[in-house]
Chain A
Amino acid sequence: MTLAVHHVAAGTAAVLVSLWLLRGRWTHSHPRAALVLWQLSSLALIVSVVGALLSFGLEPFGRGLLPALVDLPWRFQELDLWHLGAVGLGLAVGGWLVVNQLLCLRSTARARARHRLLLQLVATQESEEQGRDALVVDHPVAVAYCLPGRTPHIVVSAGARQLLTDEELDAVLAHERAHARERHHLVVAPFQALRRLLPGSALLTRVCSTIELLVEMCADDRAVRSRGREPLASALERFRANGNGAGTPAGAMPVADAPVQARIQRLRAPEGQRLPLAWPLACLIAAGALVTSVSLFAVPL
């Protein structure tokens, strides 16, 4: 039972850290630090949930988790229904999570390959006179994005070029380059895969959009370093105003307004909050929970 208790304790610690992250206002000032903590605590939570189920179920064997799992096919008739159920659930949850991540990776890779192919067929390379490397798609909708991959592409639509001044466009491109260089899609992907597993979960949706917002803020920070705050803020402002301009009949696009507002706010009036002293402590707790849970799998008892 000690094993299961340890896992539950690790999971509780991870949950507490996540709750602190969801509530904290400092995260907008230090998106990178918050992202690291998010990744640590989420991984710790998942490992400890699977670990708790398995260690409860395999407890009658009186061995460490991995040796007990190896023994399972020969000795499962020694377990009663409750323990067998816990083992089954633990294995199912663990397997399901891994398979889901792989499936999502595959479907995303396919969507990206298709997108890359179409870009190659219809997009034009922007003239290089201003040192820009973006692809332009000739369409009046205003959009700018980064297609991640081995050779990432930065794409702007003709609508976005028309909407933005040169200075703003440069800031937007710097933002997209930051996404590409820092491989932000790899940060977001595991959380999006989780959300796809439970599409109805309000909590997961909220966590996901928090992560997406933090990633955007990281890229904003990077762009600000080379292009200054104001062009980026006014570019965001223009995007927001443009989308809301039309009337909103049924089937209107939900323009994600609050996150954009938060980004403009922190660009125009940075709060300059210092990293809370609790951050290293929270990192330590989350990392400790993760290490505890993972090592409990290996420790023979």
Chain B
Amino acid sequence: MISVDGTATSTAERRKGHKPHPCARRSWLNFRWTHGERVDVAKLGELERAVMEVLWARAEPATVRAVHEELSDRDLAYTTVMTVLTRLAAKGVVRRKRSGRAWLYAPAATREEYVAELMLEALEMTGDRDSALVRFAQSVTNDEADALRKALERGESP
């Protein structure tokens, strides 16, 4: 499944297309090594989002090739898409399973469930966890609170 020339192409692409502005000061913190590739974290974040949108839009699990095809207008290397999917799986927002020789990827929860999780945390309704946020003020009606709880329960027991 691994295309040998993929890495080389993607590196060349990055050299050509992604030139940092001379004024932009970049520290080593802005980069991360993944599978031997050096990838800009900000760009990676944007890609992760794009890949998730592809997965959410599809009804069934997708192979790397399928995702790569859907993102063809971005002119990405195959390995870049694979790296992003592997990272997302490692972070637990994407599930993967083997099907023959290929991996199939599917979102671990719907977009609505992730939004509900964010909101529950913002409202400190997640239980005993330390509050990781500093809030201005919050207001939630009881109907909204119930809907949020239900959304999260659905997400936890698929």
Interface residues of A (CB under 8 A from B): 104, 107-108, 111-112, 115, 117-123, 137-148, 155, 157, 163, 172, 175-176, 179, 184-185, 188-189, 192-193, 196, 199, 215-216, 219, 235-236, 238-249, 251-253, 255, 260
Q: Interface range on chain B: under 10, 10 to 19, 20 to 34, or 35 or more?
A: 35 or more
> Of the candidates A144, A189, A235, A247, which one forms a contact with B142 in the assembled complex, judged by CB atoms under 8 Å apart?
A247
Q: Does B138 belong to the interface (CB within 8 Å)?
A: yes
Contact assessment for B139 and A137 in the assembled complex, using a CB-CB cutoff below 8 Å: no
Q: Does B101 belong to the interface (CB within 8 Å)?
A: no
Contact assessment for B119 and A139 in the assembled complex, using a CB-CB cutoff below 8 Å: yes
Q: Which residues in window 136-151 of B have CB below 8 A to A?
A: 136-146, 148
> Contacts A118-B114, A240-B139 known; A147 to B119 CB distance under 8 Å?
no
Tally inter-chain residue pairs, CB-CB below 8 A.
143
CA distance A123 to B156 in the complex (A): 21
Contact assessment for A115 and B118 in the assembled complex, using a CB-CB cutoff below 8 Å: yes
CA distance A235 to B134 in the complex (A): 17
Contact assessment for B134 and A243 in the assembled complex, using a CB-CB cutoff below 8 Å: no
Q: Does B131 belong to the interface (CB within 8 Å)?
A: yes
Which residues of the partner chain A approach B67 to less than 8 Å between Cβ atoms? none
Which residues of the partner chain A approach B140 to less than 8 Å between Cβ atoms? 141-143, 243, 253
Which residues of the partner chain B approach A107 to less than 8 Å between Cβ atoms? 129-130
CA distance A236 to B136 in the complex (A): 8
- Distance between B49 CB and nearest chain A CB, rounded to angstroms: 5
> Contacts A119-B118, A243-B141, A247-B142 known; A176 to B136 CB distance under 8 Å?
yes
Q: Which residues in window 87-142 of B have CB below 8 A to A?
A: 91, 93, 111, 114-119, 121-123, 125, 128-142
Secondary structure of the B contact surface, majority rule: helix
Contact assessment for B114 and A122 in the assembled complex, using a CB-CB cutoff below 8 Å: yes
Contact assessment for B45 and A120 in the assembled complex, using a CB-CB cutoff below 8 Å: yes
Contact assessment for B93 and A140 in the assembled complex, using a CB-CB cutoff below 8 Å: no
- Distance between B134 CB and nearest chain A CB, rounded to angstroms: 4
> Contacts A117-B91, A253-B142, A253-B145 known; A145 to B134 CB distance under 8 Å?
yes
Which residues of the partner chain A approach B49 to less than 8 Å between Cβ atoms? 120-121
Contact assessment for A249 and B137 in the assembled complex, using a CB-CB cutoff below 8 Å: no
Contact assessment for A243 and B52 in the assembled complex, using a CB-CB cutoff below 8 Å: no
> Of the candidates B117, B129, B138, which one forms a contact with A118 in the assembled complex, judged by CB atoms under 8 Å apart?
B117
- Distance between B108 CB and nearest chain A CB, rounded to angstroms: 11
CA distance A188 to B145 in the complex (A): 26
CA distance A193 to B140 in the complex (A): 26
CA distance A118 to B119 in the complex (A): 11
- Distance between B50 CB and nearest chain A CB, rounded to angstroms: 10
Contact assessment for A239 and B138 in the assembled complex, using a CB-CB cutoff below 8 Å: yes
Contact assessment for A111 and B144 in the assembled complex, using a CB-CB cutoff below 8 Å: no
Which residues of the partner chain B approach A141 to less than 8 Å between Cβ atoms? 119, 122-123, 138-140, 144, 148
Which residues of the partner chain B approach A112 to less than 8 Å between Cβ atoms? 132
Residue of A nearest to B131 (CB): A192
